[in-house]
Amino acid sequence: MIHTCRHCDAHLSERFLDLGHAPLSNAYLDAAGLQAAEVTYPLRLNVCTACRLVQTEDYTSAADVFGADYAYFSSTSSGWVAHAKRYTDMIVERLDLGPDSFVIELAANDGYLLQHMKAAGVPCLGVEPTTATADAARAKGIEIIEDFFSMALVETLTAEGKSADLILGNNVYAHVPDINDFTRAIATALKPEGMVTLEFPHLMRMVEHRQFDTVYHEHFSYLSLMTVQRIFETNGLRVVDVEELPTHGGSLRVYGCRADASHVASGNVASVLAEELTRGMDTPAFYEGFQAEAEAVKDAAVRFLLDAKRDGKAVAGYGAAAKGNTLMNFAGIRPDLLPRVHDAALAKQNMFLPGSHIPILAPSALDDARPDYVVILPWNIADEVRAQLSHLAEAGTRFVTFVPELKIV
Short-list 350, 298, 348, 302, CA closest to 321: 348
341 and 212 housed in the same domain: no
Residue 387 belongs to a domain with what CATH number?
Answer: 3.40.50.720
36 inside domain: no
Looking at the domain assignment, is residue 30 inside a domain? no
Verify that 220 and 244 share a domain, yes or no.
yes
Instruction: Please check whether residues 215 and 173 belong to one and the same domain.
Output: yes
Is pTM beyond 0.85? Reply is yes
Let me know whether 274 and 153 are in one domain. yes
**352 and 316 together in one domain:** yes
209 domain-assigned = yes
**How deeply is 54 buried, as exposed, middle or buried, from its count of CB atoms within 10 A (0-12, 13-18, 19+)?**
buried
Which residue, 287, 305, 330, sits at the end of a domain? 287
Looking at the structure, do residues 123 and 199 belong to the same domain, yes or no? yes
Residue type at position 143: E
Looking at the structure, tell me whether residues 299 and 280 fall in a common domain.
no
Identify whether 1 is part of a domain. no
As for how many domains the chain has, the answer is: 2
Q: Domain limits at 395?
A: 294-408
Considering the domain architecture, whether residues 185 and 91 belong to the same structural domain is answered as yes
C-alpha span between 326 and 306 (Å, rounded): 19
Residue 391 within any structural domain of the chain: yes
Does one domain contain both 235 and 328? no
Segment 10-32, tens digit of pLDDT? 999 999 999 999 999 989 999 99
Residue type, 247: T
Q: Are 351 and 339 in contact (CB under 8 A)?
A: no
What CATH number does the domain containing 199 carry?
3.40.50.150
180 neighbors 234 (Cβ within 8 angstroms): yes
Per-residue model confidence (pLDDT) at position 61: 73
Is 46 within the bounds of a domain? no
Cis before 404? omega within 30: yes
The residue ranges of the chain whose pLDDT is under 50 are: none
The answer to whether residue 34 sits within a structural domain is no
Q: Are residues 343 and 401 in the same domain?
A: yes
pLDDT reported for residue 214: 96
Assess if residue 54 is contained within a domain. no
